[in-house]
Chains A and B, each alone.
Chain A
Amino acid sequence: MHVSVWHRLDGVARRLLPFATTILLVVLSVVPLHLPGLGSVAPALALMGVYYWAIFRPDFLPAPAVFAAGLFQDVLSGMPLGVNALAFLVAYEIVSAQRRFFLGKSFMVMWWGFMLIAAGATAGTWLLVSGLSGAFLSPRPVVFQFLLTLALFPCLTWLFIRAQRVLLQQG
């Protein structure tokens, strides 16, 4: 009896891991880092979480959770509500539909896939925000943000793989 309660708690914690890491990335993406030259551009960290978990554990990160994470990002960053929610959802749906293609492939393939997804999400967000505010945004910081996000993908993925090994595949 005693064991089963702990076992169940453990299971709950594992199921929450993908959502918890994604939410954590949302919060981390708005923490001011005061890096020279980076004052204005921060990478889209949470998108990496959505991408990774959509491939490896979509069952633990269902669409409503992705929507919630996107909405949280919208609220914290001050963007129009619903923009990130939509971008995350569409990215999640595309990736989880193609997840069998990515499973077991090399890291380069995953990175390449992320490049396509991030490019699509960035371009879509740019169009949506431009449309909603009725003026075209300067594209330069957008491109810079995309490149920075792409460059950080290997580091984050390494952490995700660690987290997944430790917490998800133990039992």
Chain B
Amino acid sequence: MKQRTGSVLRFAAPLKAFVQRFAFLALVGASFGLMMLGKADMVLVERMRTVTTDAVAPLLDALSRPAAAVSEFAGRIQEAVALRSENARLHEENERLLQWQQVARRLEAENRTLRELLNVVPGATVSFVSARVIADSGGAFVRSVLVGSGARDGVRKGQAVITGHGLVGRVASVGEHSARILLITDLNSRIPVVVASTRDRAILAGDNSDRPGLVHYGNDARVSPGDRIVTSGHGGAFPPGLPVGTVASVSASEIRVQPYVHWDRLEYVRVVDFGLEGILAPPRLREEGG
């Protein structure tokens, strides 16, 4: 009996080593195959992704809650420490905002009167879906987040995603109850924008750093640090005028934009349905594909 297991082992050990080596090579091949597949067949790969993320979404949702609670607690302590200075700052800001409120009220009234005079057709009604961020790709390599709302809640591919501060990104893929948001800082994000004061057009292009750059602006464009950047509405993906950020630095080779959104405090976002088709409208894609 002992002898038999010995001979089996003698035979089995090299076989096992061979199988393991073969398995490793096959898996390396499979990895490259998947990379190619991801380039070639976006629809299939995206479906695989959404099915998996849908399945994991409840777990991620549960896990992200205590993390949020802990960060909220830390935030409370910070607030308590900085209470006095914060109070002074808010007083000052309140003064300033009250002035702006006056201006806004006056402009609103004026706007309404002018619209009535000109018989302006009102734009499409806007509807929101508030969604909780349940996963952050944590990305040196990709900038995207998962939210715990999906097709069931009315989230559609290509919709704009904002917070109270400004533009976050757009919906890249949608599952039944989860969706992936491609942030404006991602390498693959291209957003048509304008410089608010001069109306110079440009494209906001992410490169995975915290500050996306401006590209494709005209030669005569006048951009200086501090300028407000808003969406232009070209291309039909986003409505015009969504705040994006301010110009942080201008050099001969590049212009960098500091987004308004605080990336480390991205807890709830609003997915906005402006009634626009969007660049990535699914029906159009399907027509092209078929």
| A residues neighboring B (CB under 8 Å) | 27-43, 62-64, 67, 70-72, 74-83, 85-86, 89-90, 93, 122, 125-126, 128-129, 132-133, 135-138, 140-142, 144-145
Contact = CB atoms under 8 A, between A and B. Distances in A.
Nearest to A80: B38
Interface string B19-34: 0100110011011111
Interface residues of B, number: 56
A132 B142 CA distance: 12
Contact of A76 (B53, B68, B207): B53
B144 interface: yes
Given A30-B138, A71-B34, A39 B180 contact: no
A82 B185 CA distance: 23
Interface majority SS (helix, strand, loop, mixed), chain A: helix
Interface stretch (B115-123, B233-241, B264-272): B264-272
A136 B172 CA distance: 21
B83 interface: no
B143 A32 contact: no
Contact of A40 (B52, B135, B139): B139
Given A34-B67, A34-B71, A133 B187 contact: yes
B133 interface: yes
A32 B144 CA distance: 11
B262 interface: yes
6 contacts: A76-B137, A80-B39, A81-B35, A132-B35, A137-B141, A137-B208
Contacts of B33: 82
B37 interface: yes
Given A30-B136, A137-B187, A35 B71 contact: yes
Contacts of B59: 27
B23 A63 contact: yes
A30 B180 CA distance: 13
A32 B133 CA distance: 8
Given A34-B264, A40-B138, A42-B138, 12 more contacts: A30-B136, A32-B133, A39-B265, A40-B143, A78-B137, A82-B33, A85-B30, A86-B35, A89-B31, A132-B39, A138-B208, A144-B140
B290 to A, nearest CB: 23
A20 B194 CA distance: 49
A128 B35 CA distance: 9
B140 to A, nearest CB: 4
Contact of A39 (B34, B48, B136, B187): B136
Interface string B177-204: 0001000010110000000000000000
Contact of A33 (B24, B67, B134): B67
Nearest to B137: A77
